[in-house]
Amino acid sequence: MDTTTTDTPGRPGGTRPVPRRGAALAVLCAGMFLVLLDVTIVNVALPGIGRALGTGLPGLQGVVDGYAVAIAGLLPAGGALGDRIGRRRMTLAGFALFGAASLACGAAPGAGPLIAARAVQGAGAALLLPGSLALVTALYPGAAEQARALGAWAGISSTALPAGPLLGGLLVDTAGWRWIFLLNVPAAAAAIAGVRALVREPGRGTRARVPLDRAGMVLAPLALGGLVGAVVAAGHGHRGTAAGAAAVAVAAGAGLVLAERRAAAPMLPGGLLRARAFLGANAISLIMNLVTNGVLFTSTLLLQQAGHRSAAAAGALLLPMAVPLAALAPVSGRLTARFGTRVPLAAGAAVAAAGSLSLLAARPGGGYGPLLPALAAIGIGDGLIVTAAVAAAMRAAPPAHAGLAGGFNNAARQVGTALGVAVYGAVAGPATGPAFASGLHALAWVSAALWLVALALVRAVPAR
């Protein structure tokens, strides 16, 4: 039986065995699986949602970004809360909120209520993700076994990426788009039962004994939401709305800086924010999700709106991006355990940069061929990067801030998701518009340049 130990006050030797460690890891992977599933499964449903609810491209961006902004803005808070009151408790609360919000998404009568429910769904994800990741690192404390466990965590959870397009396409074409959300309700209930049965809370010595930074928890999502809203509005010519959203972002951002300087225990500890390895790993994670989800969003519109393909057909054509990511995430864990973080990070960024340039030949009505190399290369690059970036970020933080470090890394990725959908959607515009092809070609250069920035940042991450 696979066992490990955790700190337990009052017990001989201070430890107690945790049975079925592999089963506990599998249950914790369900958290990231559900979060990723609701990114990819929603993308293939966007045209159907737009037709059913009568919303255009800005509304569809809101359906994706309402979720991503809530996750990104609240993940550090979720990590800090888990560090303070218990990672297992926060993971369970996150699953419960995620399931309830999924039910609200499935019953939403219009675009506004759907976007609001998606934001609550993102809040649930923000509670469960950092806690589940911190619980994984507590189950596997050794550096080598932790890298392998993180590789398994990324690999199992990343199966949501190939599952999402296929399952989403089938559900949209048969049962309807609402079932992509309703499917989460029994899944969340099963995950809650699994966590309660198999996962134990780490010892109290791993908890941070500091006051909560309430101002930071409020101002961070306001600043990010304002920024994304400004980008979306500006891209569609809504200057007044863009100016208002930008003002909110600037005011909240300035308030966040002041609040963090004055807080007795800031949500983002200065030591972490001054650590080159921590910043470099999170910047790479942000770039990875920005490009990946920007390309995924525009590719979905290209395949369905311009190419007139069904949701199921579009989902199948997106598999060259999703399958390599899921397959290579555990390989990245083994490479990280053997060679350190730099090798998989550099290889992944280089492959993705080269493949992104094939978007220069993509155009509405031009066939699937030019899109295939970009999807495959980005999927391979992501698969090599994801585990190494998470491992580097987690190793840069002390054990007492493991939840916060996991939350910050996931927040960086979700910031990338939100900005990718906002920026790529604004530059490309509707897939049926006259400027879509030229916008897509400009984004090919932008994508390649961002991957090269990620490649340069690898030097900031220690070799081990």
Question: Which tops the pLDDT comparison, 33 or 290?
Answer: 290
- The token pair that represents 303 in the structure block: 């395949």
Torsion of CA 78, 414, 395, 345, to 10 degrees: 170
Would the pLDDT of 200 be above 70? yes
- The token pair that represents 349 in the structure block: 């960024």
Band (335; pLDDT cuts 50, 70, 90):
confident
Angle between helices 21-43 and 160-174 (to 10 degrees): 50
Would the pLDDT of 70 be above 50? yes
Q: Which of 21, 17, 172, 196 is nearest to 106 (CA)?
A: 172
Torsion of CA 83, 154, 179, 24, to 10 degrees: -60
Query: Residue 10 has what pLDDT?
Result: 36
Query: Residue 14 has what pLDDT?
Result: 39
CA distance 150 to 156: 10
Q: Which of 61, 64, 71 is nearest to 97 (CA)?
A: 71
Mean pLDDT is lowest, of 78-87, 89-98, 269-278, 320-329, for 269-278
Angle between helices 319-339 and 276-301 (to 10 degrees): 160
Mean pLDDT, the chain, integer: 82
**Greatest mean pLDDT among 63-72, 91-100, 225-234:** 91-100
- Using an 8 Å Cβ cutoff, are 116 and 59 in contact? no
CATH architecture of 19-202+267-460: Up-down Bundle (1.20)
- The token pair that represents 250 in the structure block: 């600037």
Would the pLDDT of 393 be above 50? yes
- The token pair that represents 152 in the structure block: 């398994």
Q: Which one-letter DSSP state was computed for residue 203? A: P
Would the pLDDT of 337 be above 70? yes
Three-state secondary-structure class, residue 5: strand
Max CA pair span of the chain: 72
Using alpha carbons only, give the angle 339, 345, 349 rounded to the nearest 5 degrees.
Answer: 145
User: Any idea where the domains of the chain sit in the sequence?
Assistant: 19-202+267-460, 214-266
